[in-house]
Amino acid sequence: MEISVKELRGSPGKYIKQAARGTDVVVTLRGKRVARLVPYVENAETVAEGAEYAPEDEIFGMWAEHIDTTDVDTYVRLLRQGRRS
């Protein structure tokens, strides 16, 4: 099934239910395919064991080895403190 972004905005629940039933719902923007709604599978075998992120998506994991973010709570507190004069 192929729908436009406008149709998805109009009734998202309808298309989410379709995807949950097993129908692949392809979302188009200006005639180009941009997304696909598929049913969620709890233990999908498509995800590699131990993989932190998909290698084709560089944005995921770009901070994986960043020293300051080993403890997220501390890092966020430091960011919220702001600069001291």
Q: Is residue 58 part of a domain?
A: yes
Specify the DSSP element, H or E, that contains 70. none
Q: How many domains does the chain divide into? A: 1
What's residue 53's pLDDT?
47
Q: Is residue 45 part of a domain?
A: no
Contacting residues for 57 by C-beta, under 8 A, at least 6 apart: none
The mean per-residue pLDDT over the stretch 16-39 comes to 90
Per-residue pLDDT reduced to its tens digit, 50-85:
445 455 555 556 666 666 666 778 888 888 887 776
Q: Is residue 35 part of a domain?
A: yes
Q: Residue 74 and residue 58: Cα distance in Å, rounded?
A: 25
What's residue 83's pLDDT?
76
Helix residue spans in 1-85 (DSSP H): 5-10, 12-20, 72-81
Full domain range(s) for residue 64: 2-39+53-81
Chain-wide mean pLDDT for the chain? Answer: 77
pTM reported for the whole predicted model: 0.47
What's residue 58's pLDDT?
59
